[in-house]
């Protein structure tokens, strides 16, 4: 019994660490890009930073937000407002080539949560509206990108 719960605890810890490393790496790439822009402009104060997140990207927004803010400090960037925007998913059927967009708000909460954490499970819940196949690819909705950077005084 004791060993089992300890094992579960380790698993949880490892899962937590993986999430941290993943979000931190994404934040690093974003901040590197923003830092380049900031150097070009000669301005280090950003009044608004908009990040576009694919709804099928498995990500912990709180951890990502924390990482971006911490990395901004290290890079001498001041971000006054950080905004996350959802990017809809577009799926394409491999059988009949039909392309459709997925509105995650139509899914029930449990499914949405599962899809958010492991995007691959989307194949379990969704099928092509035209031919009913579950063999489809994700065309859009897994990415993460800087959508808008508004510098102070620009
Ligand atoms: Zn189809």
CA of 94 to the centre of ligand 1 (A): 7
Between 59 and 74, whose confidence is greater?
Answer: 74
CA of 135 to the centre of ligand 1 (A): 8
pLDDT for residue 3: 66
CA of 87 to the centre of ligand 1 (A): 23
Q: What is the per-residue pLDDT across 15-61, written as a single tens digit (0 to 9) for each?
A: 777 767 888 999 999 999 999 999 999 999 999 999 999 888 878 88
CA of 93 to the centre of ligand 1 (A): 5
Segment holding 50, helix H or strand E: strand 45-54
DSSP state of 152: T
CA of 86 to the centre of ligand 1 (A): 25
Whether 47 and 149 have beta carbons less than 8 Å apart is answered as no
CA of 127 to the centre of ligand 1 (A): 8
CA of 9 to the centre of ligand 1 (A): 43
C-alpha closest to that of 151 among 67, 75, 50: 50
**Which residue has tokens 């009913």?**
132
Q: Taking CA 143 as the corner, what is the angle to CA 138 and CA 44, rounded to the nearest 5 degrees?
A: 170
Q: Reply yes or no on whether the pLDDT at 5 is more than 70.
A: yes
Rg for the chain, CA atoms, rounded: 19
- Name which of 41-55, 92-106, 109-123 the model is least confident about: 109-123
CA of 140 to the centre of ligand 1 (A): 17
**Domains (ranges, CATH) in the chain?**
5-151 (3.30.2320.80)
pLDDT band at 109 (very low <50, low <70, confident <90, very high): confident
**Which residue has tokens 């993986």?**
18
């Amino acid at each position: 019994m004791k060993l089992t719960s300890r094992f579960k605890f380790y698993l949880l810890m490892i899962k937590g660490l993986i999430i941290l490393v993943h979000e931190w790496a994404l934040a690093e790439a974003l901040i590197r890009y923003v830092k380049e822009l900031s150097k070009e402009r000669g301005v280090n104060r950003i009044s608004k930073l908009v990040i576009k997140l694919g709804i099928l990207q498995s990500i912990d927004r709180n951890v990502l937000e924390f990482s971006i803010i911490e990395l901004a400090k290290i890079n001498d960037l001041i971000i006054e407002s950080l905004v996350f925007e959802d990017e809809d998913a577009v799926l394409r059927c491999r059988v009949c080539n039909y392309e459709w967009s997925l509105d995650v708000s139509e899914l029930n909460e449990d499914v949405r949560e599962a899809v958010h954490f492991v995007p691959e499970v989307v194949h379990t819940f969704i099928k092509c509206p035209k031919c009913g196949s579950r063999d489809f690819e994700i065309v859009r909705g897994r990415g993460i990108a800087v959508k808008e950077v508004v510098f102070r005084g620009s």
